[in-house]
Amino acid sequence: MQVADLNKIENPYLLLTPGPLSTTHRVKQQMLRDWCTWDKDYNQIVQQIRNQLVNLATDQPGYTATLMQGSGTFSVEATIGSVIPASGKLVVLVNGEYGRRIAQIANKLGISTLVIDSGELAAVDPQALAKVLQEDAQITHVAMVHCETTTGMLNPLKAIGEIAQEYDKVYIVDAMSSFGGMVIDMAELHIDFLISSANKCIQGVPGFGFILAKHSSMNSIAGLSRSVSLDLYDQWRCMEDNVGKWRFTSPTHVVRAFAEALKELDGEGGVVARQQRYGENQRTLVDGMQRLGFEPLLDAQLQSSIITSFHNPQHPNYNFNTFYEVLKGKGFVIYPGKVSQADCFRIGTIGDVWPSDIDRFIEAVETSMYWNDD
Ligand SMILES: *Cc1c(COP(=O)(O)O)cnc(C)c1O
């Protein structure tokens, strides 16, 4: 049987979502073997992954990767809870659900937190951050989401990094939905802690996240964690000292699949090639949807190639759930909206999704606009 046919049987529909994503047969196939977490065969895979992640994050020396069990939020919580000392203060730049989640985590952990909210339809404002940092000398850390998956908005990583650097603050970035799908050099961007997960642009399956930082940054956070299982320093120390060993049971099958996904990324031509493909997916999507009368939520210059929000049609016969079911029957799963100020749905353009799939999707949408039938 052809791999394409196998994929069709495994996946009756393509996920046009922000993660988990459609992955290849090749990635999923790696999960058929069982692994011992203690054995060096497995630990070598872990070490290789850690090195490859560092290479994706920067070409500067001195960086290290820590893998953490759980979904992406667990890695965000591990970072926020492990890098800010009791005497520290965090400022979070918010323009969507994932930015709010960082603030929620910090509040729950009793960390002194300030939020700068620019609303869901505007990029975060570097000048507003500069003003706050000027006025409040207590602030030690700055956190921001890179691609705010709520809308698909891209935040100004570089501008915020320059201000964090100027004021000598630790810069924490949730690059969950962009890392691996957009070129990011964390050294150049002055990012101190970068967080992402297995099941987004690297196109693995869900089960763990990872945190990238300098060795020196990791050494500086010993003993700060407010949690045992989410102690970023202890997790890192264990992986370092025991050459790729996780502290507690690790998602072995997911890790093996991730190693394959990294190979696939390399085979595609690396992050540059993947960024190009996602960009072409997204342009094909917006052109096709606009031709059918759908309007994107965001201005094009704020929009990422990861996920796009569209206004729901304002037709009395239109219902999102019906539209969703019709499209699912034709082999495509889309995503509901999450914006509180606008009535939207979302379409992701990441994963094992190619411009030809988007062409097929637009055809499917064209024949699914049941509300225009009478
Ligand atoms: C997916 C995502 C997360 C993590 O979500 P989980 O459901 O915990 O995996 C965090 N931040 C952003 C921006 C995301 O897109």
Q: What would the pLDDT profile of 121-146 be if each residue is shown by its tens digit?
A: 998 999 999 999 999 999 999 999 99
Task: Tokens for 37, please give them.
Answer: 């977490």
Residue nearest to atom 3 of ligand 1 (CA): 72
Task: Tokens for 52, please give them.
Answer: 């490859």
Any idea what DSSP says for residue 172? E
Kindly give the number of the ligand 1 atom that is closest to the alpha carbon of 148: 13
Task: Tokens for 281, please give them.
Answer: 């997916």
Q: How far is the CA of 176 from the centre of ligand 1 (A)?
A: 6
Q: Structure pTM?
A: 0.97
pLDDT score for 5: 67
Q: Tell me how crowded residue 34 is: count the other CB atoms within 10 A of its CB.
A: 8
pLDDT score for 319: 94
Bridge-based pairing state of the strands 344-348 and 335-336: antiparallel
Among 186, 191, 181, which residue's Cα sits nearest to residue 304? 181
Q: How far is the CA of 316 from the centre of ligand 1 (A)?
A: 33
pLDDT score for 373: 83
Which three-class secondary structure state does DSSP give residue 53? helix
Q: How far is the CA of 243 from the centre of ligand 1 (A)?
A: 28
Buried b or exposed e, range 311-325, using 16+ CB within 10 angstroms: ebbeeeeeeeeebbe
pLDDT score for 4: 65
pLDDT score for 6: 67
* C-alpha span between 80 and 94 (Å, rounded): 15
Q: How far is the CA of 157 from the centre of ligand 1 (A)?
A: 17
CA distances from 153 to 7, 96, 98, 346 (A): 31, 9, 12, 12
Q: Which of 97, 102, 174 most suits a substitution to test ligand 1, by most atoms within 8 Å of the C-beta?
A: 174
Among 145, 41, 66, which residue's Cα sits nearest to residue 100? 145
Kindly give the number of the ligand 1 atom that is closest to the alpha carbon of 200: 1
**Ligand 1 environment, Cβ below 6 A:** 18-19, 71-73, 98, 145, 149, 174, 176-177, 197
Give Cβ neighbours of residue 25 (< 8 Å, ≥ 6 apart): 3, 6, 7, 10
List of domains in the chain: 3-23+270-369 (3.90.1150.10), 27-266 (3.40.640.10)
Q: Based on the number of CB atoms within 10 Å of its own CB, is 38 exposed (0-12), middle (13-18) or buried (19 or more)?
A: exposed
* C-alpha span between 164 and 157 (Å, rounded): 11
Task: Tokens for 102, please give them.
Answer: 């960082």
pLDDT less than 70: residues of the chain: 1-8, 374
Q: How far is the CA of 373 from the centre of ligand 1 (A)?
A: 38
* C-alpha span between 161 and 174 (Å, rounded): 13
262, 49 contact by CB (below 8 A): yes
Any idea what DSSP says for residue 345? E
Q: Which of 17, 173, 176 most suits a substitution to test ligand 1, by most atoms within 8 Å of the C-beta?
A: 176
